[in-house]
């Protein structure tokens, strides 16, 4: 028996390769937005690598954490590269997550039969928020200290058990070495493993039902004599090669940021990350990183603390039920102009909220934050009605595809 036959008989890998790569038929009209999924996979691997390297030099103790991170930057060989890869990687992952989700909303990829692909994906997004928050605390800078204090104090609003939960999360009454220990454990083990597990499920669930496409057409409905959808091509080699090209272009962008603008005007790495934690020197306004600030803006939109928290939780939870709010038989917003306009307003409003969440708490921003919160919530409340009654255009019988 040749080595190849011996291996093929024992290993599930060749079968998995066939099922998920060589014989996974994907629609031939994917566009540039379809790079985000594979780029996210690449970024998660790179984040693991850079995280592993910084972890080798990081000391999780209140006394040494900040100095160890400083040491990685200035003393460790290529420490600055590992550090910037890890820090900038977070923001870039969120850039890709937002592109990936926006694509899903534009083309109706959350609709049946892909509801669970969406729900698992959105859970990954929430897990990334938690992962980023725990990582944010680890350098024990002054921003880490005060951001940790503010965010953990939100748990105090839970009725009856709020104080107890806050103490449990912090490992004491305030931020301390115990907080650092548990956040570090969560950051490098539990939450990271949950993210990896969910990504595996995300792709398995997608491959069970098949990919959507910009036209929102069900490609399996139109099969050729060979039994394969006429509007699809095997993922490997066609899309695998295309994704490799995407990796190349993306790595140039990633490298350019790391080498020439690693803090991206202090949006990717805030100034207050460069001073050690000081419980006696509170920061005037602690704002979260840009990727969480839309939700923070909504939290601030209501002057009552508990009211703000409820609005923020509702805003975070709404996208989960998106698949069940949309009731139009046409899937892609290419053929639903009203939903498309609503989505464009929704995206622009989300960007405005992100900007507002980074601003100091002034009355002029407060009014806009309220308007932004209303538009955000209105989108989800109006969708079931608009999607039911909106006029649509007839989608084409075959996917629209321009050969180059």
Q: Which is nearer to ligand HEM, 37 or 139 (CB)?
A: 37
Binding ligand HEM by CB under 6 A: which of 65, 92, 124, 186? Answer: 124
Q: Which is nearer to ligand HEM, 89 or 288 (CB)?
A: 89
Binding mask 146-185 toward ligand HEM (x if CB under 6 A, else -) reads ----------------------------------------
Q: Which is nearer to ligand HEM, 46 or 199 (CB)?
A: 199
Binding ligand HEM by CB under 6 A: which of 58, 94, 125, 205? Answer: 125
Closest residue by Cα to residue 238 from 117, 33, 403, 10: 403
Q: Residue 206 interacts with ligand HEM (CB under 6 A)?
A: yes
Binding ligand HEM by CB under 6 A: which of 152, 211, 293, 333? Answer: 211
Q: Are 74 and 106 in contact (CB under 8 A)?
A: no
Q: Residue 361: which residues within 8 A CB-CB, separation 6 or more?
A: 285, 300
Distance CA 148, CA 138 (A): 10
Binding ligand HEM by CB under 6 A: which of 202, 300, 334, 336? Answer: 202
Q: Which is nearer to ligand HEM, 36 or 188 (CB)?
A: 36
Q: Residue 38 interacts with ligand HEM (CB under 6 A)?
A: yes
Distance CA 42, CA 89 (A): 11
Q: Residue 24 interacts with ligand HEM (CB under 6 A)?
A: no
Q: Residue 51: which residues within 8 A CB-CB, separation 6 or more?
A: 86, 188
Q: In the window 343-402, what residues touch ligand HEM (CB under 6 A)?
A: none
Q: Residue 104: which residues within 8 A CB-CB, separation 6 or more?
A: 110, 118, 121
In the chain, what's the furthest Cα-to-Cα distance? 78
Q: Residue 98 interacts with ligand HEM (CB under 6 A)?
A: no
Q: How many residues bind ligand HEM (CB under 6 A)?
A: 27
Q: Residue 308 interacts with ligand HEM (CB under 6 A)?
A: no
Rg (the chain; Cα; Å): 23
Between the alpha carbon of residue 400 and those of residues 60, 337, 403, the distances in Å are 54, 18, 10
Distance CA 230, CA 223 (A): 5
Kindly report the backbone phi and psi dihedral angles of residue 269, in degrees, each rounded to the nearest multiple of 5, phi listed first: -140, 110
Q: Residue 71: which residues within 8 A CB-CB, separation 6 or more?
A: 57, 79
Q: Residue 97 interacts with ligand HEM (CB under 6 A)?
A: yes
CB of 77 to ligand HEM, least distance (A): 30
**Looking at residue 100, what DSSP letter applies?**
H
Distance CA 82, CA 238 (A): 33
Distance CA 106, CA 375 (A): 18
Distance CA 191, CA 124 (A): 10
Q: Residue 41 interacts with ligand HEM (CB under 6 A)?
A: yes
Distance CA 296, CA 314 (A): 13
Q: Which is nearer to ligand HEM, 35 or 268 (CB)?
A: 35
Q: Are 140 and 184 in contact (CB under 8 A)?
A: no
Span interacting with ligand HEM, options 113-121, 137-145, 257-265, 277-285, rule CB under 6 A: 113-121
Q: Which is nearer to ligand HEM, 203 or 371 (CB)?
A: 203
Binding ligand HEM by CB under 6 A: which of 142, 212, 287, 333? Answer: 212
Span interacting with ligand HEM, options 4-12, 31-39, 271-279, 325-333, rule CB under 6 A: 31-39
Span interacting with ligand HEM, options 130-138, 196-204, 353-361, 379-387, rule CB under 6 A: 196-204
What is the contact surface with ligand HEM in residues (CB under 6 A)? 34, 36-38, 40-41, 44, 97, 100-101, 104, 107, 109-110, 114, 117-118, 121-122, 124-125, 199, 202-203, 206, 211-212
């Amino acid at each position: 028996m040749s080595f190849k036959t011996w291996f093929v008989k024992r290993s599930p890998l060749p079968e998995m390769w066939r099922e998920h790569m060589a014989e996974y038929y994907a629609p031939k009209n994917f566009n540039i937005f379809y790079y985000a999924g594979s780029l996210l996979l690449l970024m998660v691997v790179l984040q693991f690598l850079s995280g592993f390297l910084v972890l080798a030099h990081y000391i999780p103790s209140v006394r040494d954490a900040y100095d160890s991170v400083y040491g990685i930057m200035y003393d460790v060989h290529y420490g600055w590269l590992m550090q910037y890869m890890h820090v900038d990687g977070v923001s870039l992952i969120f850039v890709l997550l937002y592109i990936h989700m926006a694509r899903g909303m534009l083309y109706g990829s959350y609709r049946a039969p892909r509801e669970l692909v969406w729900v698992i994906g959105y859970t990954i997004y929430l897990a990334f928020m938690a992962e980023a928050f725990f990582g944010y605390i680890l350098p024990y800078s002054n921003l880490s200290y005060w951001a940790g204090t503010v965010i953990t104090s939100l748990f105090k609003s839970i009725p009856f058990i709020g104080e107890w939960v806050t103490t449990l999360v912090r490992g004491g009454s305030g931020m301390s070495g115990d907080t650092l220990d548990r956040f570090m454990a969560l950051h490098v083990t539990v939450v990271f493993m949950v993210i990896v597990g969910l990504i595996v499920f995300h792709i398995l669930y997608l491959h069970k039902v098949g990919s959507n496409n910009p036209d929102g057409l069900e490609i399996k409905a139109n099969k050729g004599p060979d039994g394969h959808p006429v509007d699809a091509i095997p993922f490997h080699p066609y899309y695998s090669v295309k994704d490799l090209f995407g990796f190349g272009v993306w790595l140039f962008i990633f490298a350019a940021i790391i080498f020439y603008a690693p803090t991206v005007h202090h949006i990717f790495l805030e100034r207050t990350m460069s001073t050690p934690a000081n419980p006696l020197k509170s920061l005037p306004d602690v704002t979260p990183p840009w990727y969480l600030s839309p939700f923070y803006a909504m939290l601030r939109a209501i002057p009552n603390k508990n009211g703000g928290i409820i609005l923020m939780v509702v805003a975070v939870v709404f996208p989960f039920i998106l698949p069940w709010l949309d009731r139009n038989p046409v899937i892609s917003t290419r053929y639903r102009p009203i939903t498309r306009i609503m989505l464009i307003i929704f995206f622009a409003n989300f960007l405005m909220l992100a900007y507002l969440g980074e601003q100091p708490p002034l009355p002029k921003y407060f009014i806009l934050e309220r308007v932004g919160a209303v538009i955000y919530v209105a989108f989800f409340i109006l969708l079931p009605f608009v999607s039911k009654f909106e006029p649509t255009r007839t989608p084409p019988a075959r996917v629209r595809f321009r050969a180059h």
